[in-house]
Amino acid sequence: MQGQSAPTIQPAAPDAGRAIPLPLAPEDQARADLYALAARLLLAPPDAALLGDLAAADPILGSQDERPLEDAWEKLVLAAGVMDAEAVADEFNALFVSLGTPPLNPYGSLYLSGFMNDTPLAQLRTDLAALGLARVAGVAEFEDHLGALCETMRVLVMRRTPLARQQQFFEAHIAPWYERCLLDVGQAADARFYRVVAAFVAAFLTIEAQAFAVDTPFDAAALQ
Domain holding 105: CATH number?
Answer: 1.10.3480.10
In a domain? residue 98: yes
In a domain? residue 114: yes
pLDDT band at 222 (very low <50, low <70, confident <90, very high): very low
What's the rounded mean pLDDT across residues 84-91?
97
In a domain? residue 16: no
Report how many domains make up the chain.
1
Give the integer Cα–Cα distance in Å for 199 and 76: 9
What residues make up the domain containing 172?
25-223
Residue pair 140/9 in contact (Cβ under 8 Å)? The answer is no
pLDDT band at 138 (very low <50, low <70, confident <90, very high): confident
Give the integer Cα–Cα distance in Å for 39 and 28: 16
In a domain? residue 148: yes
In a domain? residue 10: no
Residue 224 has pLDDT above 50, yes or no: no
Q: How many alpha carbons fall within 13 Å on the CB side of residue 169? A: 26
In a domain? residue 2: no
CA–chain centroid gap for 93, Å, is 18
CA–chain centroid gap for 64, Å, is 23
In a domain? residue 121: yes
In a domain? residue 36: yes
Window from 3-7, 92-96, 180-184, 219-223 with minimum mean pLDDT: 219-223
- The segment with the largest mean pLDDT, out of 12-16, 112-116, 138-142, is 112-116
The pTM of this model reads 0.89
Q: What is the pLDDT of residues 155-164, one digit of tens each?
A: 999 999 999 9
Question: What H or E segment, with its residue span, contains residue 213?
Answer: helix 193-213
Residue 188 has pLDDT above 70, yes or no: yes
CB atoms under 10 Å from CB of 148, counted, come to 26
